[in-house]
Amino acid sequence: MDASPARRILRAAALLGCCCLVPVSGCSVLGSGGTEETSADRAAHAAAVPLTATDLQNQYQKVIRNVLPSVVQIQATSDLGSGVVYDGSGHIVTNAHVVGNEKKFKVTTANNEEPLTATLVYSYPEQDLAVIRLDKVPQGLRAASFGDTEKVQVGQITLAMGSPLGLSSSVTEGIVSATGRTVSESPSGGPGATIPNMVQTSAAINPGNSGGALVNLDGQVIGIPTLAASDPDLGGSTAPGIGFAIPGSMVKTVADQIIKQGKVTDSGRAALGITGRTVVDVNYQPSGVAVVTVKPGDAAAKAGIRPGDIITKVGGDDITTITSLAESLASDRPGQRTTVTFSRDGVGRTVEVTLGEQ
């Protein structure tokens, strides 16, 4: 294997292999000018030392050894997925679509061959996240460390860990391909969750990976793999190398609320406070969202929007389907002001709306 790409990856820890420590009591490590060398100086010197292929391989293996014990397999009655140990009390975070409508699960950890039982704490389908808890916490259960989503950058190496196709403790490798993606799930039977700020990765995501861990080379979980892109030109089959993970910061926000309060009380997601359905024009093309119900006292009601109105625009976004409406609102925050354009009895209107919370 050609190791030249690996040699271009820099290693901060290499400093310890290239410095000489003077064995005199009270002395300091000195730079070339005879002055005391700071940590910034040491990091700069270390950046000049490239990783070898063996070093990079060792780093991969270290991360896998540290994180894989925190990734579990979750078996529901008719579905199988993955989960990540969230704390030492036996809480495990996973996808809402993994738990479905069930309350009891079998969980296989990396250190236990026999499945353990777990109970649902709360499922939050709006963000496709759920928390379950082991009925009995085994010895040696290791919680994962979650990273800061704001520090995730395109090009970072990622490892996806989980149970693709039922193959437990599997690892695939890739990079962060993009950040800030808004993605709408499309499960059978209707529209799924629309999730903002997702991490796109080239690490292979297959059925069974859902709810597992997307990990950086610092051993931090930066996302929960949730779905792979599908290619409509290939009959809806999975598009290779395009997978999406719910950002780690959002996972922590939701999981902390579920564990402390038993439910999500602050989603941070904007909402109009309506239910709606997609309508089509005379050519049977999607042309807007018909308002079915309006929640009293919520954003749409306060703005004068009524059942039967057809929403065609939010802010600068054209609205043609219920999914496009969800995607438009996904990047907004509760309390934010925007405009909503709709038609009523064939007459177009635009109103200003202060968005509520999902």
> Which listed residue (70, 123, 170, 210) is catalytic?
210
213, 161: one domain: yes
In a domain, 157, yes or no: yes
| pLDDT of amino acid 108 | 94
CB burial readout 170-185, b (16+ within 10 A) else e: bbbebebbebebbbbb
Question: Are 274 and 237 in the same domain?
Answer: no
Same domain for 218 and 152: yes
**Is residue 93 one of the residues assigned to a domain?**
no
**How many domains does the chain fold into?**
3
Residues 247 and 274 in one domain: no
Could you report the per-residue pLDDT of 26-75, keeping only the tens digit for each? 333 334 344 445 544 544 554 556 668 888 899 999 999 999 999 999 99
| Average pLDDT for 273-281 | 91
Domain match, 165 and 215 both: yes
Confidence of residue 142 (pLDDT cuts 50, 70, 90): very high
Rg (CA), the chain: 25
Mean pLDDT of the chain: 84
Of residues 70, 82, 91, 97, which has the active-site annotation? 97
In a domain, 111, yes or no: no
CB 69 within 8 A of CB 110: yes
- Identified catalytic residue from 55, 128, 298, 332: 128
DSSP code for 58: H
pTM of the model: 0.74
The CATH number assigned to the domain holding 319 equals: 2.30.42.10
Verify that 174 and 205 share a domain, yes or no: yes
Tell me the C-alpha distance between 270 and 299, whole Å.
10
Give me the domain span that covers residue 13: 4-49
What number is the average pLDDT over the span 275-283?
90
**How confident is the model at residue 155, as a pLDDT?**
95
309 is catalytic: no
Predicted local confidence at residue 1, as pLDDT: 42
Active site residue 210: yes
Alpha carbon 203 to its chain's center: 14
The answer to whether residues 323 and 283 belong to one domain is yes
Is 163 within the bounds of a domain?
yes
Pair 152, 215 in one domain? yes
Same domain, 244 and 292: no
Q: Are residues 155 and 222 in the same domain?
A: yes
* Residue at which a domain ends, from 223, 252, 281: 252
Boundary (domain end) residue, out of 252, 279, 304: 252
- Domain assignment present for residue 76? The answer is no
Of 193, 221, 252, the residue at which a domain comes to its end is: 252
DSSP class of residue 137 equals P
Q: What is the pLDDT of residues 223-265, one digit of tens each?
A: 999 998 877 666 666 778 999 999 999 999 999 999 999 999 8
The answer to whether residue 282 sits within a structural domain is yes
Q: How many CB atoms lie within 10 A of CB 49?
A: 16
Q: Tell me whether residue 135 is in a domain.
A: no
Q: Residue 154: which CATH number?
A: 2.40.10.10
Catalytic site residue 128?
yes
Predicted local distance difference test score (pLDDT) of residue 48: 55
Q: pLDDT tens, 281-305? A: 988 899 999 999 999 999 999 999 9
DSSP 292-309: EEE-TTSHHHHTT--TT-
Residue-wise pLDDT tens digits, 159-203: 999 999 888 889 999 999 999 998 888 765 445 788 888 999 999
Residue 137 resides in a domain: no
Claim to verify: residue 11 and residue 42 sit in the same structural domain = yes
153 and 190, same structural domain?
Answer: yes
Residue whose C-alpha is closest to residue 177's, from 149, 158, 195? 158
